[in-house]
Structure 1
Amino acid sequence: MRPSGISKPPFAIVLASAAAVLCACGGGGDSGASPTPSRTTAAPGTPPSPTITRDFAPTPSASSGSPSHASGRCRSDDLEARISTAGPAAGQRYAFLTLTNTSGSACHVYGYVGMLLLTASDHPIPTRVERLSPPGPQTVRLQPGGSAHARLQWTVVPGPREPEHGACAPTPGLAWVTPPDERSHLAVNWNQGVVCGNGHISTTPLQPGAAPR
């Protein structure tokens, strides 16, 4: 499937192994939100459990008076995700991830998204998400139709224990994006090619506005 909609992992075993990567803590907020009911049909078959790790320093928690603790946080149901190319550099690739408020009410996001890459046949690819700072997280208020974006960066140069000839890893066809402090994810097409470095992707915190063109 390729909708930019809400989806729970199609396999129970994947949900358990991918939780560390998909978790998108915003440096504060209600991290105990309940998963969103599934809207998709599980793919047949159960793939082997991937090896998923997290590769970033934890973001310091916001104080109890932080706006991220206020009501009105954007839920996965409220958002639509899109990934757009931001241009290449020597051995590096960049993209912008944009979250848009598709609900009828204002809400806010604060912090970083979680992400898991999958093949075109929905098999998970080991993914490591690094949170970049500075800049630090900020509360971004989204009016209906409003957007926030983050910049993604990864390498296409094979890393240790990756093949030096041919593809360094399976080519992703889909990404599961988890908004800050949410547990359910958004499914979005990944048309950015292979991710080397053992699935390492760096991301900035969400910033106001749609992605630069």
Structure 2
Amino acid sequence: MRRLVLCGALVLLGSACGSPQQAADTSTLPTAPATTTTPPSGGSVVPVPPTTGAPETPASTRCTASSLAGEVGSVDSGAGNRYAKFVVANNGSAQCTLNGYSGFQLLDGAGQPLPTNLQRTEDPAPVPITLPPGAQAAANLRWTVVATGDEPVEGPCEPEPAKAAAIPPDETQPMTVAWSHGPVCGGGKIEISAFYPA
């Protein structure tokens, strides 16, 4: 009778009634109480999307001759020197990056190379430039029209170029730009800066 009363009490408490061995073998782990969030009066629970970080920017690739158009701008003169800017524009449909110096080879009307002695200057020095479609960059050019060494004083000091082959930084294929600024003396010496935003 005592066992039945005890078993009945255990049933009321939600415990299984069985042998003492079964009760010893059964263990119950405590659980944390459930928590609920009550929205403000009249409100509703709105799910918050996970944070994805900053929006991605389009990847840039190097500017190539096929994505650029170039020209040598107007010329300033002083003390036998000539100054101009070699300007390139991104004619592609995606942004591209320039970082460094352009190659620059003077050519005659038939596309044959003429004496060219390209010298890099660090004014300004190279920095990466991202060009969105339509944006421009420039490099400074300086050359002399004064004959030097054994160049003739009468007449042109060097053959007159008709164009130039310009190779974007870290590329191998050139683009052709017109040259209408006369001979380049000093064996075709041209000082060129790195590209900078124009």
Separation (CA, whole Å) in 1 of partners of 2:149 and 2:192: 22
Q: Name the count of aligned residue pairs.
A: 140
| Residue 97, structure 1, aligned to residue 91, structure 2 | no
Separation (CA, whole Å) in 2 of partners of 1:130 and 1:207: 17
| Residue 150, structure 1, aligned to residue 139, structure 2 | yes
Q: In the alignment, what sits opposite 2:100?
A: 111
Alignment of 1:41-52 (within 5 A): none
TM-score by length of 1: 0.63
1:40-78 CA-partner distances (Å, limit 9, x unpaired): xxxxxxxxxxxxxxxxxxxxxxxxxxxxxx851112211
The CA RMSD over aligned residues, in Å, is: 1.3
Identity %: 38
| Residue 173, structure 1, aligned to residue 162, structure 2 | yes
Alignment of 1:117-136 (within 5 A): 117-136=106-125
Which has the larger Rg? Answer: 2
TM-score by length of 2: 0.68
In the TM superposition, what is the alpha-carbon distance from 1:122 to its structure 2 partner? 2.2
Alignment of 1:20-31 (within 5 A): none
Q: In the alignment, what sits opposite 2:74?
A: 85
1:98-123 CA-partner distances (Å, limit 9, x unpaired): 11100000111000000110112322
Structure 1: stretches of 5+ with no match in the other structure: 1-69
Separation (CA, whole Å) in 1 of partners of 2:91 and 2:170: 18
Q: In the alignment, what sits opposite 2:184?
A: 195
1:124 partner SS: coil
Indicate conservation of the 8 Å contact 2:124/2:196, yes or no.
Answer: no
2:61 partner SS: coil
1:150 partner SS: strand
Structure 2: stretches of 5+ with no match in the other structure: 1-58
1:10-58 CA-partner distances (Å, limit 9, x unpaired): xxxxxxxxxxxxxxxxxxxxxxxxxxxxxxxxxxxxxxxxxxxxxxxxx
In the TM superposition, what is the alpha-carbon distance from 1:141 to its structure 2 partner? 0.5
Indicate conservation of the 8 Å contact 2:89/2:134, yes or no.
Answer: yes
Match of 1:137 among 121, 126, 139: 126
Indicate conservation of the 8 Å contact 2:118/2:191, yes or no.
Answer: yes
